[in-house]
A and B are shown apart, each in its own frame.
Chain A
Amino acid sequence: MSTWDKQTSSSDEHSFNALPEPSPTTLSAPHWDACKRNQLLAQQCHSCQQFVFPPQPFCPHCVTDTLAWQRSPGKGRIYSFTEIHRPQTPAYSTPYVAAIIELDEGWHMLSNIIDSPATLLSINQRVEVVFIERGASKIPCFRRTL
């Protein structure tokens, strides 16, 4: 049989019953473990003081290996957002808001804005982190603040 002969069925046969949970790596495990304790962590470089997220093995700014996990107060602003009507999978209720959050320390992360319809949101809106249970994990989401 040829090496390219198709052996498996369609790759699109996932179960979409549950919302996805994160699968931490060795590198990212401290971030996700802290979420379970309602803490938001990002790496900070001791040499150049810059924050790094998603996690890296060494500082991409000054290339020293002095990164350490730091707790973020979890306050920042909406850098950009989109109201999603066509869900990633049927497990999501629509509409929901995905956003890029710019934390006050200067780093960015993807997240969801909860508790506010998109009509009340704008870029630069102040937000703070809130941890939402999902299975055995907790997901860092954000909500509006004054």
Chain B
Amino acid sequence: MTNTPFQDIAIVAGYNSQQAKHLEGQDDLSLLTDVIQNLLSQSQLTADDIDGININSAVWNLKPREALSMLGGQERWCGNEFMGIAAVIEAAGAIATGQADTIMIACAQAGEYSHTGATAPWTRPSHEFSECFGLYTAAEFALCAQRHMAIYGTQASALAEVAATIRCNGHYHPQAQFYGKGLVTPEQVLASRMVCSPFHLLDCCITSEGAGGLIITTAERARDMDAKAVFIVGAGTDRQGMSYTRAPVWDQCGDVGQRAARRAFEQAGLKPTDIDVCEFYDPFSFEIIRQFEAFGFCKPGEGGDFIANGRIAIDGEFPVATNGGLLSFSHAGTLQMLQKVIVAYEQLSGKMPTSLQVKNPTTAMATNGGSGALFCDVMLLANQATANK
């Protein structure tokens, strides 16, 4: 069997700090310290073994190049991408082309959002053709959901089932912001206050503080390490321009991610029915329905029915956002994009909390972005270097 285009790139460590609405006494740098120490300890590597980094933080505006000196000033490869999957793809490409052997990617966010009268600052676009109409992230995604509901008759109850399923996962994850906060029913989602139609409060992602990271290296080195390896077997990025600068017209952005997913599946020799774990990006409940359609798990317009009857629950056919996702695990700056890869790693290496561990998964699909944001990146992972089923 031939290797994937990524030539056996493996994730050998993944770590999340505790996630919370506010982490008292913590800032980006203290959180990053925790992540770096834990990743090295988990992988039994030293800082000298890391010959490439992409460590960044939004609030402190810590750029990867500045972060280099945190691990000493020796020569290393340095990444630039700040968005989760894209950063992992960039690092995997560096390893595949021989620029580096072992790369640490980490991200942290704390202390930015305090004003409760307005939506979170990163959700408020300053662009001239969106800001003055009172738009923000949730409203842009709502415009996509409303169009889908009008064209296909997708019901609010389907959105609510997605939100309830994901939020129940978060209830069981000890590191989640909503850990132990109670199971959520679709009825509770529909009864929560309206944010922007069709999204109720519980359809929307939370705001969080936290940090996380991972280490990737070659399969050969992974075999020499006493670490569980998870392989990157396919990836792609779809970008349509800057988010929130023009109308998210469904006819143009409704299938964003389709091209990226098709390429990723071709690289991996997989198809949607082969995927065991769906770590899809869940900024709003509807986006899960959209992604199942865009990636070819079901036909356009059928997503609302597709997710029904427990199909996306932990013990279902296509479990989604198994750590609680952006709705209840964490949404901290750009960290939550990297966390989609981290949770895929945790599922495939058997490191999830028992009640959230999918039974013997061999493949996972992680995604970032969505229709309202005019981009969608995807990554396929497997517990074998060649994933062909």
- Report yes or no: A12 in contact with B113, Cβ–Cβ below 8 A: yes
A82 to B135, CA, bound (A): 10
CB contact between A54 and one of B114, B118, B129, B139 (< 8 Å): that residue: B129
Asked if A90 CB lies within 8 Å of chain B CBs, one says yes
Asked if B227 CB lies within 8 Å of chain A CBs, one says no
List 6 A-B pairs, minimum CB-CB distance, nearest first.
A82-B142, A80-B147, A89-B118, A123-B150, A22-B128, A90-B117
A122 to B134, CA, bound (A): 20
- Report yes or no: B135 in contact with A98, Cβ–Cβ below 8 A: yes
Asked if B76 CB lies within 8 Å of chain A CBs, one says no
Task: Collect the chain A residues with CB atoms within 8 Å of residue B247's CB.
Answer: 79, 100, 108-110
CB contact between A4 and one of B67, B142, B196 (< 8 Å): that residue: B67
CB contact between B118 and one of A16, A82, A84 (< 8 Å): that residue: A16
- Report yes or no: B132 in contact with A19, Cβ–Cβ below 8 A: yes
- Report yes or no: B124 in contact with A89, Cβ–Cβ below 8 A: yes
Task: Collect the chain A residues with CB atoms within 8 Å of residue B94's CB.
Answer: none
Instruction: State the main secondary structure of chain A at its contact with B.
Output: loop
Asked if A112 CB lies within 8 Å of chain B CBs, one says yes
Task: Collect the chain A residues with CB atoms within 8 Å of residue B111's CB.
Answer: 10
| B126 vs chain A, min Cβ distance (A) | 8
- Report yes or no: A110 in contact with B250, Cβ–Cβ below 8 A: no
CB contact between B143 and one of A4, A19, A80, A87 (< 8 Å): that residue: A80
| A110 vs chain B, min Cβ distance (A) | 5
- Report yes or no: A84 in contact with B134, Cβ–Cβ below 8 A: yes
- Report yes or no: A4 in contact with B29, Cβ–Cβ below 8 A: yes
| B279 vs chain A, min Cβ distance (A) | 27
A118 to B146, CA, bound (A): 13
Instruction: State the main secondary structure of chain B at its contact with A.
Output: loop
**Interface residues, chain A, CB within 8 Å of chain B?**
2-4, 6, 10-14, 16, 19-25, 28, 32, 53-54, 79-90, 92, 96, 98-100, 108-112, 118, 122-123, 134, 137, 139, 141
Given A80-B147, A98-B133: A87 and B118 interface contact (C-beta under 8 Å): yes
A134 to B132, CA, bound (A): 9
Q: Which of A13, A89, A96, A112 counts the most chain B CB atoms within 10 A?
A: A89
| Closest partner residue, chain A, to B136 (CB atom) | A88
Given A4-B67, A84-B139, A98-B134: A16 and B117 interface contact (C-beta under 8 Å): yes
A86 to B142, CA, bound (A): 13
Task: Collect the chain A residues with CB atoms within 8 Å of residue B61's CB.
Answer: 4
Task: Collect the chain B residues with CB atoms within 8 Å of residue A54's CB.
Answer: 129, 245-246
Given A82-B197, A108-B249: A12 and B121 interface contact (C-beta under 8 Å): yes
CB contact between B134 and one of A6, A96, A123 (< 8 Å): that residue: A96
A144 to B168, CA, bound (A): 42
| A123 vs chain B, min Cβ distance (A) | 4
- Report yes or no: A84 in contact with B29, Cβ–Cβ below 8 A: no
Task: Collect the chain B residues with CB atoms within 8 Å of residue A11's CB.
Answer: 59, 112, 121
